[in-house]
Amino acid sequence: MEPETMATFELKNLDECLEKHLPAEELKEVKRILYGVEKDNTLKLPESAYQTAEQNGFEIKGYSFEARPEELRKPRLVRIGAIQNSIALPTTAPIEKQREGIWRKVKLMIKAAAEAGCNIVCTQEAWTMPFAFCTREKFPWCEFAEEAEHGPTTKMMSELAKAYNMVIIHSILERDMEHGETIWNTAVVISNSGRYMGKHRKNHIPRVGDFNESTYYFEGNTGHPVFETEFGKLAINICYGRHHPQNWMMFGLNGAEIVFNPSATIGRLSEPLWGIEARNAAIANSYFTVAINRVGTEEFPNEYTSGDGKAAHKEFGPFYGSTYVAAPDGSRTPSLSRCEDGLLVTEVDLNLCRQVKDFWGFRMTQRLPLYAESLSKAAALDFQPQIVREK
Residues with a known catalytic role:
125, 202, 239
Measure the CA–CA gap between 347 and 43, rounded to whole angstroms: 8
Residue 165's region, left for phi above 0, alpha for psi from -120 to 50, else beta, is left
In whole angstroms, what is the distance from residue 344 CA to residue 361 CA? Answer: 30
Q: What are 299's strand-pairing partners?
A: 315
Centre a 10 Å sphere on the Cβ of residue 41 and count the other Cβ atoms it contains. Answer: 20
Burial 366-375 (b: 16+ CB within 10 A, else e): eeeeeeeeee
Contact 116, 49 (CB under 8 A): yes
- Print burial letters for 5-14: b (CB count within 10 Å at least 16), e (below 16): ebeeeeeebb
| Dihedral sign from CA coordinates of 89, 154, 253, 69 | negative
201 - beta bridge partners? 186
- The sheet carrying 196-201 orders its strands as 59-64, 342-349, 77-84, 120-122, 167-176, 182-190, 196-201
Q: How far apart are CA 334 and CA 361, in angstroms?
A: 27
Short-list 235, 333, 340, CA closest to 294? 340
Pairwise CA distance, residues 325 & 338, whole Å:
15
Return d(Cα 88, Cα 47) in angstroms, integer.
26
**Which is it for strands 77-84 and 227-229: parallel, antiparallel or unpaired?**
unpaired
Q: Look at strands 324-326 and 288-293 and give their pairing.
A: antiparallel
Q: How far apart are the first and last CA of the chain?
A: 49
Three-state SS string over 296-325 comes to EEEEEEEEECCCCCCCCEEEEEEEECCCEE
